[in-house]
Structure 1
Amino acid sequence: MSLADILESEIQGEIARIQGEARERAEAIRAQARERAEALVESRQRALEMERVSGLTRARSAADLDSNAQRLSAADTLQSRAFQEAEAQLRSIPQHPEYAQILARLIQEAHAALPTAEAIETTPAEMGAVQQALGQLGLPLQVRENPAVVTGVRLVGAGGKTSVQNTLLGRLQAGQGTLSAQVSRLLNEQA
């Protein structure tokens, strides 16, 4: 074998070794690039999933808030209607035959609070029922018209400096806070 053949053989071996190393390095680089790409894809998928879950959570929260707002609005509307209906019912009570008895109780309560009353006021439509109730109670009070006193009476003390009003509508208004809580509870139980 000649020197040229030996050198050629060594050069070919060196070329083969360099090509093998290059293939190994290229394969390592490709594997590393694949790992990075997979890690990047997985990271992006996790980020997208987190965004999706976060979006769903926000949407649910918004839907819950909207639902609660609608429920509160409906409850307020129903409660308002309930008090309007109650007021309408109370305004119709003076037409009932038993109204004089109801007035007698209202007058007794007011008179207990203001025993020095010298006059009693009521709306003109209720004058007859008030006089009938006063007759049942045996109270000698002057009866005066006051269109503002509806569904009850207002007792006026000496000189008009003190007064006590006791009406069905006034009781409804005074108890509205307590009744509102009860109405709300009943509405929530039905929901």
Structure 2
Amino acid sequence: MALDKLLENETQQEIEQIRAQAQARAEEIVAQAQERARTLIESRTRQLDSARQAELVRARSAADLDSNAQRLSASDSLQAQAFATSEGYLQGAAQSPEYPMILVRLLEEALTVLPGARVVEAATAEHGAVHQALSQLGRSLEVRANEQIRTGVRLVGADGKSSVQNTLLGRLERVRGELAPQISRLLAE
């Protein structure tokens, strides 16, 4: 019986060794799996945090772009209103008592460019002021109706081919490009 016991003890020891090795191997596998899981979780967490940060940056950029677009749109709208108000004021100047004096200046400037002018074209409503201005200048030119020439005059040469236009609205249009940045700056302030 002693041999049976001895074999049983040896077998029992081998079983215990195998169990201990299996337990150690299982613990090692579990530890490796836990480490892989922790690394994977940390990696995914970093990816998600990076993606969230990128989305925040994109959202801020989109908000900034939208804000700038709205600011530009408002500035453009206010600038258009400023020019429309100016145009209205200049068109109203044609009804003022000082308008013949303004036309004297416009005619003088136009006559320096086209001294041989024979005809003055202007809107019908401005003919009275044109006649007064010509009288003040001591000039007698034919005055013709041209409803497209408002707030000023268009001189036509003797040949009928050469002409020069000098109007308040035309001047405003010529300086529009120069004034636009200044108006934008003022609106931004």
Alignment of 1:6-155 (within 5 A): 6-155=6-155
Whole-Å separation in 2 of the counterparts to 1:13 and 1:123: 122
Q: Aligned partner of 2:169: which letter?
A: L
**CA offset digits 1:90-149 (Å, max 9, x no partner):** 000012222121111100110000011112121222122122222222223222222221
Deviates more, 1:138-147 or 1:124-133: 138-147
Whole-Å separation in 2 of the counterparts to 1:132 and 1:93: 15
Structure 2 regions of 5+ residues with no counterpart?
none
Q: Aligned partner of 1:11: which letter?
A: T
Whole-Å separation in 2 of the counterparts to 1:79 and 1:88: 14
Q: Aligned partner of 1:2: which letter?
A: A
Aligned residues: 189
> Per-residue deviation at 1:88?
0.4
Deviates more, 1:25-34 or 1:51-60: 51-60
**CA offset digits 1:47-75 (Å, max 9, x no partner):** 11122112212222222222222222212
Whole-Å separation in 2 of the counterparts to 1:123 and 1:17: 116
**CA offset digits 1:133-185 (Å, max 9, x no partner):** 22222223222222221111111110311111100011112222222222222
SS of the equivalent of 1:148 reads coil
SS of the equivalent of 1:139 reads coil
Deviates more, 1:2-11 or 1:19-28: 2-11
**CA offset digits 1:70-91 (Å, max 9, x no partner):** 2222122111111111110000
> Per-residue deviation at 1:37?
0.8
Whole-Å separation in 1 of the counterparts to 2:148 and 2:37: 84
Q: Aligned partner of 1:128: which letter?
A: G
SS of the equivalent of 1:95 reads coil
Structure 1 regions of 5+ residues with no counterpart?
none
Whole-Å separation in 1 of the counterparts to 2:139 and 2:104: 10
Deviates more, 1:99-108 or 1:179-188: 179-188
Identity across the alignment (%): 57
SS of the equivalent of 2:94 reads helix
Question: TM-score, normalised on structure 2?
Answer: 0.92
Whole-Å separation in 2 of the counterparts to 1:144 and 1:12: 129
Whole-Å separation in 2 of the counterparts to 1:6 and 1:143: 140
Runs of 4+ in 1 over 6 A off after TM superposition: none
Q: Aligned partner of 2:4: which letter?
A: A
**CA offset digits 1:11-70 (Å, max 9, x no partner):** 222222221111111110110010011111111111111221122122222222222222
